[in-house]
Amino acid sequence: MKLPTLREVGTEAKLLLIGIPVFIWTMVPIYHMFLFAISPKEDAFSGKLWPDHPTLNNFSIVFHQQHYFLRDFWIQFWNSVVIALSAGALTLLIATAAAFSISRLRVPGGRWVMNLALFTYFIPAAFLAVPMYRTMGNYGLLNNHWSLILAMVTIASPYAIWVLKQASDKLPVELDEAATMDGATTLQLFRLVYVPLMMPSLVAIGTYAILLAWNEYLYAFLLLSKDTEITLPVALGNFLAADDSPWELLMTTGFIYALPPAAIYYAFKRYMVGGLTAGAVKS
């Protein structure tokens, strides 16, 4: 066995000197959340780094909705699921159609639409929130899930269209030409050639839109207010309304709420990193 040289040990030590602070910095808020989720109330509030009596009781309270703040937990969870999936599906549908139209069919004015979409993408969503709230009020959609779904589609689709357009520009034109020569109609071209070839990007974009909608807080709390209509993040924010909030339950609910997006992220990481980071910043 070859012993590491002094220099190698030195490099490794330097790397560890960076790595350990990075690890601590990253994990502390998440560990703190996890710690609260498995702590009984007395332990959580005593500043211990590991509870004396770790318990899953908090999860049971949340799942059985045994607290005033949690009485609508399951319906709020369901609202989050429905809104995230609908926003994802709708974004995918609208953006794929638009990207196909702009990139493959070279529709007149397509470039112009692309620029408008990009413009929307770069306007911070928080700035659009106030007018969006008023607009949804004018459309009579406030307190209706559609308002949040449509708002999320509006915010997600510009980036979706842009990424999909970039990806589909890379497909060779000859494919379309060959298919058309063989007598494929435009819709067949879309269904049988375009969509299968674009699958990796479509997965990335679908995931992106679902995560965006699932994580959204600002629009959700503006547009939805009834306890049985709101999504989980709004319910979490509502915990703060009371001075003596049950923080261990808040953190437990937050932990449950954070699990699905983390799982989705890691499951689709392959697609996300390839499809999104390449598109996110093109230098």
Partner 1 sequence: MAITLSGDHAIPSPPLSARLTTPQVWGIVLLAPYLLVFLAFVVYPVGYGLWLARHPASYVALWHDPIFARAAVNTLIFLLIGINVKMLIALFLSGFFAQQRTWIKWLSVLFILPWAVPSIPTILSVRFMLNPEWGVINQLIFKFTAEDGPNWLNDPSVALGMAIGVHIWKSLPFWTLILMTGRLAISHDLYEAAEVDGASWSQKFRYITWPSMQTLYITCTLLSMIWTLGDFNSVYLLTGGGPADLTHVLATLGIRYLRLDQLSLAMASIVCALPFVLPLVYFMMKRLSR
- Residues in 72-111 that interact with partner 1 by CB under 8 A: 93-95, 97-98, 100-102, 105-111
Question: Using CB atoms within 10 A of its CB, is residue 176 exposed (0-12), middle (13-18) or buried (19+)?
Answer: middle
Nearer to partner 1, 78 or 266 (CB): 266
Nearer to partner 1, 108 or 172 (CB): 108
Could you give the angle at the alpha carbon of 269 between the alpha carbons of 37 and 25, nearest 5°?
Answer: 45
Contact between 119 and partner 1 by CB under 8 A: the answer reads: yes
Alpha-carbon span 254 to 235, nearest angstrom: 10
27 binds partner 1 (CB under 8 A): yes
**Angle at Cα 132 formed by Cα 127 and Cα 133, nearest 5°?**
110
Among residues 74, 78, 146, 217, the one that binds partner 1 under rule CB under 8 A: 217
Contact predicate 85/148, CB 8 Å: no
Task: Please state, in angstroms and as integers, the Cα–Cα distance from residue 93 to each residue in 46, 60, 90, 109, 139, following that order.
Answer: 50, 38, 5, 20, 23
Q: Does 208 bind partner 1 (CB under 8 A)?
A: no
The stretch near partner 1 (CB under 8 A) out of 1-9, 52-60, 156-164, 202-210 is 156-164
CB of 71 to partner 1, least distance (A): 19
9 near partner 1, judged by CB under 8 A: no
Q: Is 270 in the site for partner 1 (CB under 8 A)?
A: no
Q: How far apart are CA 82 and CA 89, in angstroms?
A: 11
Q: Is residue 24 near partner 1 by the rule CB under 8 A?
A: no
Q: Is 233 in the site for partner 1 (CB under 8 A)?
A: yes
The Cα–Cα gap between 54 and 31 comes to: 14
- Closest distance of CB 57 from partner 1, Å: 19
